[in-house]
Amino acid sequence: MGKTPSSSATAESPTTTPHTHRKMALRPRPTVTMKEKEISTEKKRPKMGANKNKKKKLDDANKPKKPPTAFFYFLEDFRKEFQEQNPNVRSMREIGKACGDKWKIMTYEEKVQYYDIATEKRAKFEKALADYVKKQENGEYDKSDDDSDYDA
């Protein structure tokens, strides 16, 4: 004559009722409509003009560019071979897709030559970047030097 759980006890415990995990508390909806929200966000956002982009380009004119990855060196070689084998295919999308598929199935030993090229280029880039940073700290890349080219 043990006690059996009552039906009210099983309804309260989350482990015994299968539908309690589906119930969620509802949050009140915002009173602002989507159109009002778009209008209000447009007013609050500061406009990002072309002046900021131009300034960045002027400051970084002498900065060395990052070298491509090993995949891009492979892409260069693959594109030449692929166009010789398939002269009628002109779509960059199809060429890129075929290149990506080929890169995925290549073994590491086949990719090593491209990784070596990328590593060499990366080392040259890091050296050039270090020189650029030194020159910038010494003041060799002043804004006045850039402006003098435009005055002439």
Residue 106 backbone dihedrals phi, psi, to 5 degrees: -70, 145
Instruction: Name the nearest CA neighbour of 75 among 92, 52, 58.
Output: 92
- What local confidence, expressed as pLDDT, does residue 91 receive? 87
- What local confidence, expressed as pLDDT, does residue 151 receive? 45
- What local confidence, expressed as pLDDT, does residue 62 receive? 79
Across the chain, which has 152 residues, the per-10-residue mean pLDDT values are: 53 53 64 62 57 57 88 93 88 91 94 95 94 85 50 42
- What local confidence, expressed as pLDDT, does residue 36 receive? 62
Is 125 in contact with 70 (CB distance < 8 Å)? no
Residue 25 to residues 9, 11, 40, 104, Cα–Cα distance (Å): 21, 17, 29, 47
Residue 130 to residues 37, 64, 66, 69, 84, Cα–Cα distance (Å): 47, 10, 13, 20, 41
pTM for this prediction: 0.52
